[in-house]
Amino acid sequence: MKKAYFPILICFLLLTLKSQAQQDMTIYPMQIIPQSNYSNPALVPTANFHISMLPGLSSIYVEGGHTGFNAHQFINITANDSVEVNLQKLIDQMGKNNYINLNTSIELISFGFKLKEKHYFNFALSNKMYAHASYPKDLINFAHKGNGAFFDETLQFSKMGINAAHYNELMLGYSMQYDDKWTFGAHLKILQGLSNVWTKRADVTLLTQEDHFFITATSDIDAYASLPSEVWEEDTTNTSKDFGPGQYLGNFKNMGAAIDLGVTYKFDDKWTFGASMIDLGFFRWKGDGNRNFKSVDSEGNFTFEGIDITDFIKAKDTTGAQSTLENLMDSIVDIFQIDTLYGAYTSPLNTRFYLSATYQLTPKDQLSGLIRMHLYNRAVHPALTLGYMRKFGNILSLSGTYTMASRKYFNLGLGIAANFGPVQFYLTTDNLISPLVHNKYTWSENNELQSLTVPRNTKFMNVHFGFNFIFGYKATKVNAPIL
Amino acid sequence: MKKLFRHIALGLILVGIMASSCVKDEYSLQNMKTPEWDPNFAAPLINSRLTFWDILNDFDTTDIVIEDETQFLYLVYNSTAFSQTAEDLISIPDQNASASHNFSTGTIAVADSFVTTLVYTYNFNFPSSQVIDSIYLKSGSLNLSINSNFNLPAKIELKLPGTKQGQPFKETVYMNTPTGNQSIGLNNTKLIFNHSGGNNKLEMTFRVVLYGNGNPNQSPYNINISNSFYNVKFKAIYGYLGQLNFAMNEDTVKVKLYDNHFNGIINWQDPRYYLTATNYLGVPVQLTIDLLETKSTRPPFNTYQIVGAGIPNPWNILYPSFSQMGQGVKTLMYLDKNNSNIDAAYDIAPQQMNALISAVTNSSGPTQNFVFDTSRFTLDAKVELPLHGTAHNFTIVDTMDVNIGEDFKNSEYIDWILFKIYAENGFPIDAEIQIYFLDSGYNIVDSLLAPPQQLIHAATPGPAPDYIVTGKYKKMITTTIYNDRIAEYHRIKYAVVKAKMHTFNSGTQIVKIYSYYDLHVKIGAQVQMNFN
């Protein structure tokens, strides 16, 4: 680990202990938690006023996941008690494209208040990070089976790449209850970009023809990165460059903006529908540490048809033969040649769309359904959550959810919001059970038994918790008439 | 309220239990099986359009493939049988002679002198009855060794017929003692010989001058002058150079096409042999072709003497006249099937064509000759084989060091290797090709095509006289080598390529080969690995 990266890593790790880069699904219908508004600006929290000003405790969101496979799916015990790593099973579990995701969000401060019942204003300052790395199944298939298993079939190593950003977000929100049925809301976000890696395009294909085994490869790569210039210098000079978190966090050259829009429609006393679009925005990376790695010939392709031995015959000596091979290598390298460009660039935020429906069974019981479409790495990533929430007076709200996400179709979630006077503690997760069931792997190293315990059957896990000070959340008591 | 807290407590307990992270299965990786990994890789290896030049692949500046204006090809093998300059052929031996003179003087007063002259005719010795009129020297020396009984200082002036550095030849030797040695350089010296009373005579005139210095007269005086022409090199010689015999070695033209010949024949329709003499010597030369033959140096050993009207014996070589001084004059001898039996001589698949030739100058008697030191006489031989004829079972075998054994040390990871070999043949020639892999003891380890398959089929030739092919013949074969064979490949040290060829229709059809014919070969390999 290079020293220069260490402060950033520490920052990232600290940030993962708090904040909210992306929302969990379970929190969406729990309007008792003010942060539910972040998934739909039209969702007005129950409390008239809230404030969260305990950095590291206000709101912490952490999410990690891998959509491809998990260890349980390809490590088995055979009949003779030996452990078998079944690579074919591993591949079978993969999708066409697979993602490794990490999201964190730390809320530093937030507050919100209602005005004249119809208006709601809120503010939040958060530190966020997201990282989505993707790899295609074809790449693993190729490594496992070789190109000889895929004659006349174009192996698509496309949608490879990393889409990651670390930034601070200042959010100003406003919601208005238009009438008894419609409520509209919006968030305006000012973004301070800190670092970014964005693979706009990384399409590589490989085709092996069966008749003569000719191999055709194409490559089209366009990737961007904005990192502290000290990191590049360190990479170039191979010398350690020291720079502190203050220098890193105080960089205001890479600004951006985003908008969230939301609406809810109260169909009747039972049904309420909602729709929102979150994080429609961009960063403009203008810092000194910008790089663009781009294919010199984005349309380039190269077909290797074998070596022309006449070149060797004519060459007559090893120098000539070497020159022939070098020319061949140059041709291949030219196809995959990457130019490094410098300058500002714009990268998008990963926009999310939500559609929701809630059904109020009783004043205390609510059913909900939520669909989320998350756009990143040039693909749409859907999730569906069905939930049931029960309020236990003004003190406790409990929610149970069922979620389909990350190509895993059985995830049970839990949401708790407990109000102790003005102090609210909340905890939500979309996947409660799977991460708790583990497999243990042991091996011997230097005559010492080592072990690693990993979730058995989990493709993602998230947790969102924090403390708020909330006021005016209790339902007005209606005194029974004294007869 | 109590109920509520009971629910909370139960919930927390439940979460707590779950949060204790239940470990469902435990795996000991000590007992882990190697994962099944059996990738299959395929890649093209060779993709080449081989012309006749590429296939032959052994020509250099002395044997080439040439094409005429119709792109019809000829194999040409060259050899220089003889090439020497006049300086190599003619050498001037060192010459030695001495002249003596006795004379008396009166008393020579101080500041007075006495002069006497000695004329001496030097018999220059040239080999081979040469009669030289003049010679231009580029180096050499005339060494004088003088012995006398002089008690007076003396001066000796030497004059020769000819020039030195463009001036009349005159050298002076001063003597303060009775004896002395002097070496006179002969570069840029012209000597003129006379032939009165014999050949090659050089008249040397010594003028001896004695100076009085007060010493008594000791007459009679005598002087002896030994002179030698030493290490003389000529620039030009004019005159009659005599009958020189050239020591020509046996000329051999190597026909490399047959170097790796193993069996079968090619019936050449029109083989040709050229012998070209290039003469810069102003001297008539006569050659005698003592023997002309083709020779097979591989079993079955054989020779075939070429005879016919096309071989002149003796063969008089033209030479430049005085007006052609400095120019080379060529004389050509050409043999083909019309003036010799050379076509039959090539049926023995010869690796060599040999000529035994002797030469003599001025065979008809004295003539006026000239040579320069750089004048050269060259005899070049050329075998020309137009690629026109038939071939039957013409088999070539070549052994190569391949030493690929090291590459197959880990062959247990290879299940099989499949080769796809594609040939698109534009030549009117069938070829059965096999590659044998041998160990260090030349024992066969394996062969590439098992069982043998004919890959290359002849394209169909068109009608005479051009016989241009009307299309290409395409064929693909596959051959798979399995692990049991591959396991032996670590022993491989050599590969023997054996190719048996026939012209179209089993060697019965006359064909011609043109430069635009090619053989398109594509070879691809597929390897099934197995790391289980």
Instruction: Give ipTM to 2 decimals.
Output: 0.73
CA distance B364 to chain A (A): 51
How large is the average pLDDT for residues A153-174?
91
The reported pLDDT for the residue numbered B406 is 76
CB atoms within 10 A of CB A483: 3
Strand, helix or coil for residue B195: coil
Q: Which residues of B touch A443 (CB under 8 A)?
A: 28-30
Cβ of A393 and B4 within 8 Å?
yes
pLDDT digits (tens, 9 = 90+) for A422-459: 999 999 999 888 777 788 888 888 888 888 887 777 77
Q: Choose between B2 and A13: higher pLDDT.
A: B2
Q: Choose between A385 and A336: higher pLDDT.
A: A385
Nearest beta carbon to residue A212 from set B22, B51, B420: B420
Cβ A389 vs Cβ A26: under 8 Å? no
Is A19's pLDDT higher than 70? no
How large is the average pLDDT for residues A300-323?
74
The reported pLDDT for the residue numbered A81 is 73
Provide the chain B residues 468-507 that lie in CB contact (below 8 A) with chain A: 476
The reported pLDDT for the residue numbered B70 is 94
CA distance A28 to chain B (A): 21
The reported pLDDT for the residue numbered B318 is 95
Is B54's pLDDT higher than 70? yes
Q: Choose between B271 and A337: higher pLDDT.
A: B271
* A438: contact with B, CB 8 A cutoff: yes
User: Which of B28, B480, B520, B527 to substitute to test the interface with A, most A CBs within 10 Å?
Assistant: B28
- When the pLDDT of each residue in chain B is averaged and rounded to a whole number, the result is 89
Quick one: what percent of chain A has pLDDT higher than 90? 46
CA distance A45 to chain B (A): 24
The least confident of A172-181, A196-205, A407-416 is: A407-416
The reported pLDDT for the residue numbered A12 is 37
Residue A474 pairs in a beta bridge with none
The least confident of A59-68, B16-25, B42-51, B277-286 is: B16-25
Nearest beta carbon to residue A212 from set B24, B44, B528: B44
Quick one: what percent of chain B has pLDDT higher than 90? 64
Provide the chain A residues 311-350 that lie in CB contact (below 8 A) with chain B: 313-314
Provide the chain B residues 372-431 that lie in CB contact (below 8 A) with chain A: 420, 422
Cβ of B31 and A81 within 8 Å?
yes
Q: Which residues of A touch B524 (CB under 8 A)?
A: 212-214, 306
pLDDT digits (tens, 9 = 90+) for B376-433: 999 999 999 999 999 999 888 888 888 777 777 778 889 999 999 999 999 999 998 8
**Strongest mean pLDDT among A370-379, B53-62, B473-482:** B473-482
Nearest beta carbon to residue B39 from set A145, A310, A313: A145
pLDDT digits (tens, 9 = 90+) for B216-243: 999 999 999 999 999 999 999 999 999 9
- Rounded to two decimals, the pTM is 0.71
Model confidence at A9, pLDDT cuts 50, 70, 90, reads very low
Is A23's pLDDT higher than 80? no
Model confidence at A226, pLDDT cuts 50, 70, 90, reads very high
Provide the chain B residues 423-462 that lie in CB contact (below 8 A) with chain A: none
The least confident of A251-265, B17-31, B41-55, B460-474 is: B17-31
The reported pLDDT for the residue numbered A438 is 80
Cβ of B19 and A84 within 8 Å?
no
Is B274's pLDDT higher than 90? yes
Cβ of A310 and B50 within 8 Å?
yes
CA distance A403 to chain B (A): 19
Q: Which residues of B touch A306 (CB under 8 A)?
A: 44-48, 522-524
* B2: contact with A, CB 8 A cutoff: no
Quick one: what percent of chain B has pLDDT higher than 70? 95
User: Which of A89, A302, A304, A309 to substitute to test the interface with B, most B CBs within 10 Å?
Assistant: A309
Q: Choose between B529 and A297: higher pLDDT.
A: B529
- When the pLDDT of each residue in chain A is averaged and rounded to a whole number, the result is 85
Nearest CA in chain A to B519: A310
Nearest CA in chain A to B42: A148
The reported pLDDT for the residue numbered B60 is 56
Nearest CA in chain A to B8: A396
Is A17's pLDDT higher than 50? no
pLDDT digits (tens, 9 = 90+) for B137-175: 999 999 999 999 999 999 999 999 999 999 999 999 999
Nearest beta carbon to residue B44 from set A306, A433, A456: A306
Is B125's pLDDT higher than 80? yes
Is A1's pLDDT higher than 60? no
Q: Which residues of B touch A331 (CB under 8 A)?
A: none
Nearest CA in chain B to A152: B42
The reported pLDDT for the residue numbered B3 is 56
The least confident of A241-255, A263-277, A306-320, A369-383 is: A306-320
The reported pLDDT for the residue numbered A5 is 43
Is B5's pLDDT higher than 70? no
pLDDT digits (tens, 9 = 90+) for A74-101: 887 777 777 788 888 888 888 888 889 8
B/e letters for A27-45, b = 16+ CB within 10 Å, e = fewer, are bbbbbbbbbbbbbbbbbbb
pLDDT digits (tens, 9 = 90+) for A116-148: 889 999 999 999 999 999 999 989 999 999 999
Q: Which residues of B touch A307 (CB under 8 A)?
A: 45-48
Cβ of A306 and B527 within 8 Å?
no
The reported pLDDT for the residue numbered B43 is 93
* B7: contact with A, CB 8 A cutoff: yes
User: Which of B5, B25, B477 to substitute to test the interface with A, most A CBs within 10 Å?
Assistant: B25
* B529: contact with A, CB 8 A cutoff: yes
Q: Which residues of A touch B51 (CB under 8 A)?
A: 310
Model confidence at A20, pLDDT cuts 50, 70, 90, reads very low
How large is the average pLDDT for residues B42-67?
78
Cβ of A310 and B11 within 8 Å?
no
